[in-house]
Amino acid sequence: MQKFQKSPTDPAFVQDPYPFYAQARAAGDFIWWDDFEMACAVSHKMVHAVLRDKRMGRECPPELAPEIPSHLRPFFDVEAHSMLAIEPPRHTRLRSLVLRAFTSRTVAALGPDIRQLCHELIDAFPDQPFDLLAHYAQPVPVVIIARLLGVPEERADDLLRWSNAMVAMYQARRTPEIEAAAVAATNDFVGFMRSYIQVRRKTPGDDLISTLIAAEEDGARLSEDELISTCILLLNAGHEATVHTLGNGTKTLLEHGLREINETVVEEVIRYDPPLHLFTRWVYEDVTLGGQSFKRGDQIACLLGSANRDSQVYTNADSFDPTRKGPQNTSFGGGIHFCVGAPLARLELQIALEVLFERCPDLRLTEAPVYGDVYHFHGLERLMVSTSR
């Protein structure tokens, strides 16, 4: 496979990674990305195949598990129980419990709450130019996931701060300072969740934490550490990607002069400029894919952002088409690790964009949007807008 060098923190790449992806796809289904020291699936066909291949998974083979430095152990102790980092049978058990809170009926019932929250946030928009991320894209998903879990939404600022610090551990710009902040946030988050779980043990509610506690006690199915890690994962994953998608999507719609929102438009927003661009798999047994041989212990990165721009499956893939029809985008992953919150994310995006453009027909950009150095995520630093002409 062809070797490529491209720093994921290079300013030009941060602002627009798609030309690099196009070059990579021209080399075949796989490339070797020197900067990550990893093979990468870059075509839609191959990303789709790797995500669903049961000979691969998210959990590192035991014989290859690295020694975790003591100063990072609090963070990785939480990760050790994360659904994103484990495989069956543990993954099956955790996911089946969480899915109880993500039934189509439960998600649909959140619609009125989401819509009311959007209106309340818009009512509070400043008169002067403001950052739409801080005033809208960030609070919508974090408040809704807090309500779903049953944690106090007045702690939303803390939840957002802790989550941002923790997910920075996965970014290419990771430094010792970022690691220290992530560990501190993890300790604060764990302390908060442990104390709040005790509250919910005494006074159960109609929320996911109470559901998980009941399942743990009735069938001894969840340890408290598993419960804490699951709640932290849902809070982190439940807003991080949605914030980026809502920001990226609003930017795209404004740049294309589009105001009408429907399910097709939302899917195109998710495809065109997704919030997560790279997702890895460990190889569990020797396998040949796309003419390339892999051995147990290899890692393959699925470049979701590249798969979504593959001209082999999408006509004019680099164009935003609000009427587009085509195969399922890869933004929510695939296989057993397909995003459990995808239905909620889609609902939040549709309602938040609908209400925003209904209430703010004159919404416009007041400065050129700039993407943050957050790869393998892809999202804006800020989105400065005005609601008046």
- DSSP string for residues in 158-218: HHHHHHHHHHGGGSTT--HHHHHHHHHHHHHHHHHHHHHHHHHHHS--SSHHHHHHHHHHH
On whether the CB atoms of residues 200 and 210 are closer than 8 A, the answer is yes
The H or E element that residue 315 is part of is none
User: Which pLDDT band, with edges at 50, 70 and 90, does 218 fall under?
Assistant: low
In the numeric block, which tokens belong to residue 305? 């952002």
- Report pLDDT for 212: 85
Long-range contacts of 209-217 (CB under 8 A, 24+ apart): 209/149, 209/150, 209/151, 210/150, 211/97, 211/100, 211/101, 212/97, 212/98, 215/97
- Note the pLDDT tens digit of each residue in 286-313: 999 999 999 999 999 999 999 999 999 9
Which domains does the chain show, CATH number per domain?
Answer: 2-386 (1.10.630.10)
375 contacts 17 by C-beta, under 8 angstroms: yes
Structure confidence by residue, pLDDT tens digits, 143-190: 998 988 888 888 888 999 999 999 999 999 999 999 999 999 999 999
Which pLDDT tens digit goes with each residue over 59-115?
999 999 889 999 999 999 999 999 999 999 889 888 888 887 778 888 899 999 999
Q: Model-level pTM greater than 0.85?
A: yes
Q: Which two tokens stand for residue 197?
A: 């779980």
What is the DSSP annotation of 35-101?
TTTEEEE-SHHHHHHHHH-TTEESSPPGGGPPPPPGGGHHHHHHHTT-GGG--TTHHHHHHHHHGGG
Q: How many CB atoms lie within 10 A of CB 254?
A: 18
Sign, CA dihedral 228-338-1-289, equals positive
pLDDT in tens, 35-75: 999 999 999 999 999 999 999 999 999 999 889 999 999 99
Instruction: Please say whether the beta carbons of 211 and 317 come within 8 A.
Output: no
What pLDDT does 372 receive?
97
Identify whether 112 is preceded by a cis peptide bond (ω within 30 of 0). Answer: no
DSSP 360: -
Both tokens of 152, joined, read 């106090």
Give the per-residue pLDDT at 170. 92
User: Does residue 337 have a pLDDT over 80?
Assistant: yes
What is the average pLDDT value for the chain, to the nearest integer? 94
* Pairs from 358-364 (Cβ < 8 Å, separation ≥ 24): 359/119, 359/122, 360/122, 360/125, 360/387, 361/259, 362/386, 362/387, 362/388, 362/389, 363/254, 363/387, 364/254, 364/389
- Select from 173, 115, 62 the least CA-distant residue to 353: 115
